[in-house]
Structure 1
């Protein structure tokens, strides 16, 4: 973990603990406990958007790998992003590595993950704006001041995310991987730099080639947007089991704006603290208590653990098995 990541993680933990203490950790825990085994159903429901997000990657890799490979890669990437202090970089890197271990050329795997990640972020911005438009159109009885404050918060978060995505896309078009590889070569010496730069240039070329496949890009964007929309059901179910049911419109607002705030805090591992603060901001708007808002965030954290820990275990097994297959004479994993 870099020093910056450690500082941001510490800051996120401090905000997370402070918010729990402010609202009363006991009251939040009691609210969450109301859900009981319903939390398992919330975790199971997340499999639907996970499958859809895997389909968004499968569209880009075509027949080079099976859908099961894309699904496992997506599972691994999401698990790493949620649970390990690697920011939002570790997940995509390991997704590409996992696909490459399944027979896809590394430059094609890296390109598919890069473009898919970009399109998912663009769809996330569209999802946030859709949530705002729907809420403004059908929930104008919440008070003009409240809606105005909500718009400012959501648009601010979406703006930060849009700037980051725009810069990422621009860097891709300018040869992101090749430039980064050559920069590393200047710092760490020329040994192996030429081969590394050649591989990085191949990734850049594959990325640009994918962006020219407009049909695939449109399909990936559409599937990513559908995945975000399906995620509304997770919020709706969680609050239902917690004992604070909301309408689908309110669930849309919580998920769309909440995810925009979380996305804007992408530099913080797991967006720790940012997600909780976002739900607290939205609690009054949708008419739930602060304790319920924090319990909703903890329900999502519990889902990340329920699906993420097995994902990390699978990643370790997969890496070990792959290494054994590449080393003659070593027994294969059971």
Structure 2
């Protein structure tokens, strides 16, 4: 796996270097410099998306969207952690404050965007930290699986809407046909992922992990027992899945505002509808390049292709992608440091063993 990641990373890097040489490094950097203080606006604006995604995660994980936050809003409070765990044991629902999920959402994005983990390592790390916080391993893993699935489905809906709008705004061409085919493939992947969970894929994975753990003598893995039932239970709780889906869609839609702002600051103004299409297709290209660390080169290529349909010069599309990468760095680097801090700050109640289930 490491070898595949290394090869994919080198190919992505080679593609990115080729595009820089092809379209001119000086021209691309000049467009980025033209943004000036606008880059800080873009970086700050992303905070809204982080909070929305964190709230969607909290809702699907807790199974109780209407529950009030704990009186103490200090997300690092040991007393809050204790009350959170007690509430989880009593009612099977998370009472963790939104602040905890915001921090973990930052960690998720930082790991997925900046480390060679195929864009899923952040979910693994954040699930473990969420379990440590008092939610329990089974509940934390189930909530994260549901959130990841709902996020993927919301991205598919967003991408399909973007491709549909693209067909309305421009004439049909080979490029639009390819984008439509990619959208259909993405839709099939999303439907398969969701359906497989209902058909028992999580249960199979659970049994496999338990057998491996038993063979290797790992005691902590017992905490995931019943995760399949937990996943289905979270999907069925009230209208939480639909609420989470709506919030995630809003978060994706705000990404088009980010594109609009970047193009505006670069002096290449386009309508919000065009920005919606660019963001939808650009994020789909990034997801398609999950095997490449940071989707390096793949993401830039996606913006160049869709940007050309709206008369955006390749160097401007490259600059757009790089400003978004600057935003990822601005959020990601502190988030990696935050991850290391949380590993020590969010300690378990029983040293050396994570609390995996309620007594």
Aligned partner of residue 99 in structure 1, secondary structure: helix
Q: Distance between the aligned counterparts of 1:325 and 1:118, measured in 2?
A: 30
1:168 aligns with 2:199: no
TM-score (normalised: structure 1): 0.88
Aligned residue number for residue 262 of structure 2:
238
Q: Which runs of 5 or more residues in structure 1 are unaligned? A: 329-334
Residue 320 (structure 1) shift: 2.3
Which of 72, 80, 83 does residue 103 from structure 2 map onto? 72
Cα distance in 2 for residues equivalent to 1:279 and 1:37: 23
Query: Which residue of 1 is the match for residue 315 of structure 2?
Result: 291
- Is 1:2 the counterpart of 2:2? The answer is yes
The yes-or-no answer on 1:192 pairing with 2:217 is yes
**Mapping of residues 297-316 of structure 1, within 5 Å:** 297-316=321-340
Greater CA deviation, 147-156 or 114-123?
Answer: 147-156
How is 1:208-227 mapped onto 2 (pairs within 5 angstroms)?
208-213=232-237, 215-227=239-251
* Equivalent residues of 1:182, 1:193 under 8 A apart: no
Q: Is the 8 A contact 2:61 2:142 kept in 1?
A: no
Say which of 133, 136, 155 aligns to 1:105: 136
Return closer, same or farther for 1:170/1:231 CA change in 2, 3 Å cut-off. Answer: same
CA distance in 1, matches of 2:112, 2:220: 29
Aligned pair in 2 of structure 1 residues 167, 10: CA closer, same or farther (>3 Å)?
Answer: farther
In structure 1, what is the Cα distance between the partners aligned to 2:189 and 2:125? 21
Query: Does the Cα contact within 8 Å between 1:64 and 1:103 map onto a contact in 2?
Result: no
Distance 1:71 1:88, change over 3 A: same
CA offset at residue 132 of structure 1?
A: 2.3
- In the TM superposition, what is the alpha-carbon distance from 1:298 to its structure 2 partner? 0.1
1:96 corresponds to which residue? 127
> How far does residue 325 in structure 1 lie from its aligned partner after superposition?
7.7
Q: Is the 8 A contact 2:143 2:231 kept in 1?
A: yes
Shift of 1:182: 4.7
Give the stretch that moved more between structures: 150-159 or 220-229. 150-159
Work out the CA distance in 2 between the residues paired with 1:233 and 1:258.
14
Report the Cα offset of residue 133 of structure 1. 2.3
SS in 1 for 2:262: helix
Q: Which moved more, 1:206-215 or 1:254-263?
A: 206-215
Distance 1:156 1:32 in 2: 32
| CA distance in 2 between partners of 1:103 and 1:323 (Å) | 10
Mark the CA change 1:258 to 1:267 in structure 2 (over 3 Å): closer, same or farther. Answer: same
Deviations 1:212-264 (A, max 9, x none): 22511110111111111111111011111112111111111100111122222
Query: With structure 2 as the length reference, what TM-score do the two structures score?
Result: 0.83
| Structure 2 residue runs without a partner (length 5+) | 63-93, 353-359
**By how many angstroms is 1:270 displaced?**
1.5
RMSD: 2.3
